[in-house]
Structure 1
Amino acid sequence: MRVVVGLLLLLLALCGSGAQGEGGGLGQVGEISEFQETAPRDAAEESTKQTTEQTTPDIWAEVRALRDMVVELKVFVELLQRENSDLQTRLSSSESELLLSKCRIDQLERENAVQATDLTSLGTRLTATESKSSDLEKENAVQATDLISLGTRLTATESKTSDLEKENADLQTRLSSSESELLLSKSRIDQLERENADLQTRLSSSESELLLSKSRIDQLERENADHETRLTATESKSSDLEKETADLQTRLSSSESELLLSKSRIDQLERENAERPKVAFYTALTDAGHVGPYSTDITLKYSKVFTNIGNAYNPATGFFTAPVKGVYYLQFSVCSNRTGYMGVYVYKNNQLIMFNDEGKEEVGLEYLTKSVVLELKAGDEIYLVLPSDYSLYDSPHNHNTFSGSLLFTL
């Protein structure tokens, strides 16, 4: 720019001197014609005219030449400015790529930190699983398969590293090209030399940062390789535990499903039980002691009622009346303290269902217990009858009992 300014000033000075030459020549001719009367006027006028005619075209030719030079200099300056703008753009691109490299380094450092955390967690798990190492030795075939898979992952990591190296080499080539262009630009204009020197400094700093980035990337890759090796050893030992965990999870899911089904069935049964009639009774004969013998059969009335759910047993008659159609379980116990016979008839309505008796030859308590399962309709009656000449014995200890319950409805 200083050269351009100097050329413009020179052009203005030449234009001014040309204008003064034209005016000055004419003034000199006037002065000669007025004050030099003794000199030959024709010779003086001729000489002045020739001088003026020769000087004026030369000045204007120089002015045009300088104007052309100024135009060429302007074009040249614009060209240099465009080249300088292109260099600025390329430098900005280099700086952007450098920022991307820094971001990649930060990402690798975060991934390394995550892997270190995972390694620590796996180390803890490894400590817990070392007690099972003897069983894991039998599964080397599975571990070989896992090692092949991890080898494939390692190959992918190496390929990724190769791509990073290629990107760094491309950045290096582009930076070298930028340095060459900056050196060429420095020789063409003085003002750009300072800017190019600044760019050179920034590019050198970028190269240093790229070298540091490559060194850091190499270090991270070595650390990642070491972590990968340790992770491989840990994963090979934890795979069996994961399989066992998956199997236990499957069995747990199956157990939970069965539990849900059981709960559903229990709920259904509880609803059915809540809706089903509840019938159960338990009675004892008397506290009076000996009952019988009588000359005729008599219906036994069990007067001591301990349980009578559903009120199906009537202590006044000794009858159990079925409230609903269903299957019933009935039981009775017989006791006597005299010699002779003891026993009872079991009737359903007027139909004899069972007769059990036993002869006693000695005095003392002796027992007889029986049970029966009957299908009864609503209204059917069950009762016990003491045969003639048979005797029983009861007391507050409840030796003679009659009980029953509804098993299920029909």
Structure 2
Amino acid sequence: MRTTVVLVLLICGCGARAEGRVLDDVTRNGTSPDISAEVEALKLMVEQLNLQLESMEVQVNEGEQKVEELKAELTLAKTNVEELQKENEAHGTALASVQTRVTETETITKDLEQQIAGQTITLTSVQTRVTETESKTKHLEEKSAAHATALASLQTRVTETESKTTNLEEQNAAMEARLSSSEREILQSKSRIDQLEKINAERPKVAFYAALTNAGSIGPFNMDTILKFSKLFTNLGNGYSSETGFFTAPVNGVYSFQFTACGYFPGSVNINMYMNKELMVNNGEWKRDTGLEYFTNSVVLKLSAGDVIHLRLPARSAVFDDRYSQTTFSGSLLYDL
């Protein structure tokens, strides 16, 4: 309907414009117009109008579509407005709650500001104390560094000492082991010594030492003569008799005997040793000049208890002795059997 109305209005407008142009031409030129030309012109105009009308219909359709879209958007906007109103009411309630909380927060903030003011004063005091503490800490750190250096040196010395101590302990352990071994050996030796002392204490003790005489020269005689050593200095076990000149073995054993003969005058100096009636040793020399000369001999004999040892001066021999005990006879038991 809108399109038809618009079309009629356009045709009327065009016809009026065409009629006006014809009248203008008659008036200006004083001639009658060319109707055919005018009709053609009108047709052409009508076609143009039709084209414009189609374009306008398209625009009108697009406009109607946009109107529908706007209506839909308007409806949606109304819905949004209602929702926003509801949200606004909820926000109002929440705002009131927030305002209450803000008031409480301001009160708390004021209290906190007062506390902070007090804490600021305290903080200043604490900062002062911290500064002092930092100074003391720095001083202590310097002392600690010095102590650490000294401690490191001491630790090195301690390590060296521990190493030396370990070596000494090992040496001491070895020494103690050796000492224990030595102590055991000493104890064993002592035990053996005790045994030997006990054995020795139980063993018969036999020893004698005697000199011949103070009379000077003895001999020479025409026969063998038993020498009686009258100056008896030692006679353990009473084995030697100065009256008979015999040594009698008190126990079975091994005995050692020694004699020394001194000669003064020229001639034979000779001594024989007998065991019982058996000659065991003959020892002598021929002396050419006057003066003291000596010879000594010793023997070791196995004797049975009761065996007799004595010295004889052979015939035509002489010995010399005086207060200096220059001719002597001695013997001892080495060990019993």
TM-score range, shorter chain: 0.5 to 0.7
Q: 2:327 matched to which residue of 1?
A: 400
Matches within 5 A, 1:50-199: none
Q: 2:291 matched to which residue of 1?
A: 364
* Match status 1:287 vs 2:214: yes
* Match status 1:334 vs 2:261: yes
* Match status 1:297 vs 2:224: yes
Q: 1:169 matched to which residue of 2?
A: none
What is the number of residues matched between the two proteins? 189
Calculate the TM-score normalised by the size of structure 2.
0.53
Report SS of the residue matched to 1:396. Answer: coil
Rg larger in structure:
2
Q: 2:164 matched to which residue of 1?
A: 237
* Match status 1:352 vs 2:279: yes
Report SS of the residue matched to 1:316. Answer: coil
Q: 1:303 to 1:233 in 2, by over 3 A?
A: closer
User: Which residue, 380, 389, 394 being the options, matches 2:316?
Assistant: 389
* Match status 1:278 vs 2:205: yes
Q: 1:253 matched to which residue of 2?
A: 180
Shift of 1:353: 0.2
* Match status 1:309 vs 2:236: yes
For 1:292 and 1:260, locate their aligned partners in 2 and report how far apart those are by CA, in whole Å.
58
For 1:229 and 1:297, locate their aligned partners in 2 and report how far apart those are by CA, in whole Å.
94
Calculate the TM-score normalised by the size of structure 1.
0.44
For 1:381 and 1:247, locate their aligned partners in 2 and report how far apart those are by CA, in whole Å.
58
For 1:399 and 1:279, locate their aligned partners in 2 and report how far apart those are by CA, in whole Å.
23
Report SS of the residue matched to 2:335. Answer: strand
Partner amino acid, structure 1, of 2:211: A
Partner amino acid, structure 1, of 2:164: K
User: Which residue, 225, 249, 265 being the options, matches 1:322?
Assistant: 249
> Please, which moves more after superposition, 239-248 or 356-365?
239-248
Q: 1:333 to 1:233 in 2, by over 3 A?
A: closer
Q: 1:310 to 1:233 in 2, by over 3 A?
A: closer
Shift of 1:273: 0.8
Report SS of the residue matched to 2:306. Answer: coil
Shift of 1:265: 0.9
> Please, which moves more after superposition, 365-374 or 251-260?
251-260
For 1:301 and 1:409, locate their aligned partners in 2 and report how far apart those are by CA, in whole Å.
26
For 1:389 and 1:229, locate their aligned partners in 2 and report how far apart those are by CA, in whole Å.
96
For 1:291 and 1:314, locate their aligned partners in 2 and report how far apart those are by CA, in whole Å.
19
Report SS of the residue matched to 1:313. Answer: coil
For 2:299 and 2:316, locate their aligned partners in 1 and report how far apart those are by CA, in whole Å.
25
Higher share in helix = 1
Q: 1:230 to 1:309 in 2, by over 3 A?
A: closer
Shift of 1:228: 7.0
Shift of 1:230: 6.3
Report SS of the residue matched to 1:287. Answer: coil
Partner amino acid, structure 2, of 1:239: T
User: Which residue, 380, 384, 394 being the options, matches 2:307?
Assistant: 380
Which structure ranks higher in relative contact order (CA pairs < 8 Å, sequence separation ≥ 6)? 2
Q: 1:269 matched to which residue of 2?
A: 196
Partner amino acid, structure 2, of 1:304: K
Unaligned runs of 5+ in 1: 1-218
Q: 1:88 matched to which residue of 2?
A: none
Unaligned runs of 5+ in 2: 1-143
Shift of 1:231: 4.5
For 2:258 and 2:212, locate their aligned partners in 1 and report how far apart those are by CA, in whole Å.
14
For 1:304 and 1:341, locate their aligned partners in 2 and report how far apart those are by CA, in whole Å.
24
For 2:320 and 2:159, locate their aligned partners in 1 and report how far apart those are by CA, in whole Å.
87
Shift of 1:391: 0.6
Q: List per-residue Cα deviations over 1:15-37 (Å, max 9, x = no partner).
A: xxxxxxxxxxxxxxxxxxxxxxx
Report SS of the residue matched to 2:271. Answer: strand
Report SS of the residue matched to 1:269. Answer: helix
Partner amino acid, structure 2, of 1:276: R
Report SS of the residue matched to 1:379. Answer: coil
* Match status 1:409 vs 2:333: no
